[in-house]
Structure 1
Amino acid sequence: MGRKSLKETRQKQIIKAFYKLAKKEGLENASIAKTADLLKINPSLVIHYFKTKEHLVYGLVEYILDRYLLIFDVPEACQHHPKRKLLAVIDNIFSHKWNTLFDDSVSYSCYSLTFRDKTIKKKYKLLLDSLRKNLETLIIDCNENGYLQVKNTAAVADLVFILVDGAYYYLSLVSDKAEYEKKLSTYKKRALGLLNFATSAAS
């Protein structure tokens, strides 16, 4: 048990260092040697946990995808109130919290690998399906408690994330802060429109 915990801790340290390098130098320029140098350890130790850079990239992808799930972390006050919980998640999705969970350049570099690597493609598909399923569960809970009347819950959850994916892809090109905030607010209102919500999570 202890050995497994140590292994997981060391792997996470290595992945975080690799992620830091990828943010600074680009995924294509990050390497096992540079990661080891950043951690001040022997490259052989990195290879012990990740046989090749390809395996290290797999670990990085899993790290990034796990961070996506943090959008479902909401305040305790919202946990047992279906409507507030759903609206809090929507607030998280359409906020700087979502966009600061991971670096866009690293995230999109990893995502581009889905077109060439079946393993990475499968990991992304499973995660994105999980995000949709989690959101659908919240919508169903609101339906059952009389806060919503969404007929096709799966379709609405899917549309929300289609809107999210397109929104952040476009917003990654927007440099003006005021324009960014205005468009993000507009996209959030569109998502709330899909749910027939017109109030904030605080209400």
Structure 2
Amino acid sequence: MKVKENHENKRNIILEAFYKLVAELGMENVSMTKIAKAVNMPSSLIFYYFKNKQELIYGLIDYMFEKCISVSTPDIDWTNKDVKGEFIKFVDSLFSVNGAIEIDSRVYFSCVNIALRDKRAKEKFAIYTEKANEKLLKTIEYFSAEGVISCDNTAEAVYYLMVMIAGLQDTLDFLDDHEKFQCIADFHKKQLFRFLGFKE
């Protein structure tokens, strides 16, 4: 068990370094040698955990999407009796600057570019998108069942929410002013409340 955990930890260390290097240098400028130097490992050891750079890229897509899902579908406290407060906290998390900057767009769009020409990468995008949708749907259905929101079509609400999150991420990419971004996010948050039939 410890051997397996250690193996996963090493893989994650490599993927985290790869993620940071892609964000800094761009995918095309990151070599296995640079990754090895960043994690203080010989290149041969990188190849022990990932047989080639393509496998490393697939690992990066997994790593990136796990980050995406944690940001775009924040966990809620199902035991919290203040369901309304929990809903507000959930939405605040979705529309925060901290959440938006968690995912580096340079990494994301580098992976998108690969997915456009690589079948396996494209399949990973589809799988993780579905995973995020399912988690959001469960959350929206919960708040709807609790009477916090009035939503006749929860699947439509999830789609609307995903589009809003993606749009805000794009906004932040071209807007360095975090205060201005939060104003825009707060506006969209109010639109979401209205769409979901939530009364503050």
- The normalised TM-score by structure 1 is 0.88
CA distance in 2, matches of 1:89, 1:59: 29
The corresponding residue for 1:54 is 54
Q: Which moved more, 1:77-86 or 1:38-47?
A: 77-86
Matching of residues 142-161 of structure 1 within 5 Å: 142-161=143-162
Alpha-carbon RMSD: 2.1
CA distance in 2, matches of 1:101, 1:176: 16
SS of the residue corresponding to residue 41 of structure 2 reads: coil
Percent of matched pairs sharing the same residue: 26
The corresponding residue for 1:181 is 182
Unaligned regions of 5+ residues in structure 2, if any?
A: none
1:116 partner letter:
R
2:151 partner letter:
V
CA distance in 2, matches of 1:75, 1:137: 11
- The normalised TM-score by structure 2 is 0.89
CA 1:177–1:154: 2 relative to 1, 3 Å: same
2:126 partner letter:
K
CA distance in 2, matches of 1:118, 1:80: 45
Count of aligned pairs between the two proteins:
199
The corresponding residue for 1:129 is 130
CA distance in 2, matches of 1:79, 1:175: 36
The corresponding residue for 1:11 is 11
1:33 partner letter:
T
CA deviation after TM superposition for structure 1 residue 119, in Å: 1.6
CA deviation after TM superposition for structure 1 residue 147, in Å: 2.0
The corresponding residue for 1:197 is 198
2:146 partner letter:
N
SS of the residue corresponding to residue 130 of structure 1 reads: helix
CA 1:158–1:168: 2 relative to 1, 3 Å: same
> Residues 74 and 94 of structure 2 are in contact (CA less than 8 Å); yes or no, is this contact kept in structure 1?
no
